[in-house]
Amino acid sequence: MLLIADLFIINAQERDIDFYIGHAKENSPLINQAENEKKIVSLDLQQMNRILYKPEINVISGFTFSPIITRDDNTRSFHLVSEGATDYIGHDLALTDGGQYQALVSMRQPLLSGSKYRAYVNKADISHQINENNITLTIHELEQVVGYQYLLCIRSLKESENSLSLIRNLKAQYELIQKLVENGVYKQTDLMLMQIELENYNLEYKGYKAEYISNLYDLNLICGISDTIVARLQDVDFKINPKTVVKSMFLAGFKLDSLNILSDQAVNELKYKPQLDLIADAGLNAAYLPYPRRLGLSAGLALTWNIFDGHQKNIQREKSTVNLQTLEFRKSNFMTQNEISRNKILNQINSVKERIMLNEMQTDKYKHLAEAYSKELSLGEASIMDFKNLLKDIAAKNQELLQLRMEKQFFINSYNYLNF
């Protein structure tokens, strides 16, 4: 049993936190989506370039027949196309011309589109920056989430290592007591008590081992790692990042969102600018029966200019102003909460540091006491029950010190996430 425990701790494949962060970034759906959205933004800009600068060419064809029944010369006859009837039954020839026959190639070429295209370029540039910022923030969040789960694994691993160390120590004392029992120094019940305690610590170790494997699977789940290797994680020691003074990536997101609102407003107001198009067509365009001599072409200019739509432009501007005000309020609220949270965590870190120092001093005292008890035990002068209780106290103190050290790491991980 103890051999298996040793193999679990020592002979496993080692991995560090960078390994897991790398896989988390590679397998992140949010990063993949943001990367694809950057491609969509580029394609949208290419499409708008084609719309504003390239001609649109269409084929237009249509045939409309307006047959009549003539009653000229007191005779009734059906005519698919009128040949100048004056007394007839059917649609008014003044309206239908007897029919319409079109087979045209038409072209529309937008003119003077430079200012409009610049608005779309600005919109695309801001969208690109937003996606880049989203990728940066997603990576930062992944580092925090992976770091948190990684620390859970490290804590379980250290708990199992502490438990294993206690088992080895107790096993050595058990073997010593066994010899002293044979020499009549201690009773058989003392040996049985040590054996039961050894089994209890072994069960505790198995619990920590199972917890470590469970946490490791959760870490693999977060990072998109499908293998089932029970890797040994390298220890990690997070340090507090320097205080952010000039530039915060969180605040950059608010700035980009405000620029995006303004760019949307600029694009929306493009419909109020005059649109000048060159139009042309060539082909057949005739009334009555089509003839080859009706083949021809035409060209001209088309001007579209929205000069009044019920003051919708002003309403849209007011909506943009309200959205900017909302964004500014959210930014101010975020900055306040972020500062409060960071100060709170810094205070917690300082408190934990003090408690760690006190617990380290107590741990050293327990270590010297344990050495003294071991000497007395080898001489048959110590109570087995007292020694067993001392081991429990030492285990509890080691566990408390471990929890405090890990708690400090969790706090630093949270602080570094906020201080970005």
- pLDDT tens for residues 50-88? 999 999 999 988 877 778 888 777 778 777 776 677 777
pLDDT on residue 165? 86
The helix or strand, by DSSP H or E, that contains position 296, with its residue range, turns out to be strand 295-304
Residue 168 has pLDDT above 90, yes or no: no
What percentage of residues in the chain have a pLDDT greater than 90? 54
In this predicted model, which residue has the larger pLDDT, 248 or 201?
Answer: 201
Which pLDDT band, with edges at 50, 70 and 90, does 288 fall under? low
pLDDT on residue 4? 45
Residue 6 has pLDDT above 60, yes or no: no
pTM: 0.84
Which pLDDT band, with edges at 50, 70 and 90, does 189 fall under? confident
In this predicted model, which residue has the larger pLDDT, 93 or 68?
Answer: 68
Closest C-alpha to 195, from 163, 169, 160, 170:
170
Mean pLDDT of the chain: 88
> At a CB cut-off of 8 Å and minimum separation 6, what does 3 contact?
none
As a three-state string, the secondary structure of 99-155 is EEEEEEEEEEEEECCHHHHHHHHHHHHHHHHHHHHHHHHHHHHHHHHHHHHHHHHHH
Residue 398 burial (10 A CB sphere; 0-12, 13-18, 19+)? buried
Strands 232-233 and 14-15, bridge-based pairing: parallel
pLDDT on residue 2? 45
- Segment 27-41 mean pLDDT: 94
Residue 258 has pLDDT above 60, yes or no: yes
- The Cα–Cα gap between 100 and 96 comes to 8
The residue type at 292: P
In this predicted model, which residue has the larger pLDDT, 67 or 336?
Answer: 336
Beta bridge mates, 302: 277
pLDDT on residue 407? 96
The full set of domain ranges for the chain reads 2-55+113-274+314-418
Q: Express each pLDDT in 339-361 by its tens digit.
A: 999 999 999 999 999 999 999 99
pLDDT on residue 248? 79
Query: CA 125 → CA 51, 117, 321, distances in Å?
Result: 19, 12, 21
Residue 94 has pLDDT above 90, yes or no: no
Residue 395 has pLDDT above 70, yes or no: yes
Token output for 273: 């600018």
Residue 8 has pLDDT above 90, yes or no: no
pLDDT on residue 95? 64
pLDDT on residue 289? 63
CATH architecture of 2-55+113-274+314-418: Up-down Bundle (1.20)
> At a CB cut-off of 8 Å and minimum separation 6, what does 342 contact?
415, 418, 419
